[in-house]
Amino acid sequence: MERAARLFSKLPSARGVLTPEQLVLAAWPAAVGPRLATRTRAVMMHNGRLLVEVEDELWRRNLSGLRNQILHNLADLLESATPAEIEFRVGIPRRPPRRAESPMGAQPSSRPQDEADAIADPGLRRVYINSRRKARAS
């Protein structure tokens, strides 16, 4: 999307389609790089000020020191749609994805999981169990 933002910012006909805010938000990952883009999120632009959410106070302080460099990168990418200021705010922590939990009342099985249980066909499962038993006996 950042490449598209760079192209759209240079096309006069595209300026009527995309707002300057959309261009800046799309160019954010290219301006800060992939590593910082995963830790930040450009939220909105209001009165020439770009609002960016960061993970915590430490990131906010560190990125505040890089504010001028980031503005310069955005100016190189977008030319006319560049924000005048960047405001970094600590964002609401997002919950990471969680594994699905077992249904309520489900008891874990008392016997260990057998790899033969993964075989759906009962005939093939029986053949596998018998051949495994013969291999262990020898």
Q: Tell how strand 49-54 and strand 40-46 pair up.
A: antiparallel
Average pLDDT, consecutive stretches of 10 residues, N- to C-terminus, the chain (138 residues): 56 67 89 91 92 92 94 87 91 73 57 80 90 87
Run of H or E residues at 41 = strand 40-46
Q: Identify the structural domains of the chain with CATH numbers, from first to last.
A: 2-90 (3.30.300.180)
Contact 85, 48 (CB under 8 A): yes
Tokens representing 59?
A: 């990131």
pLDDT of 87 reads 95
The Cα 115–Cα 97 span in angstroms is 28
Helix, strand, coil % over all residues of the chain, rounded to 5: 55, 15, 30
Structure tokens at 122: 């009962």
pTM of the predicted model as reported, rounded to 2 decimal places? 0.58
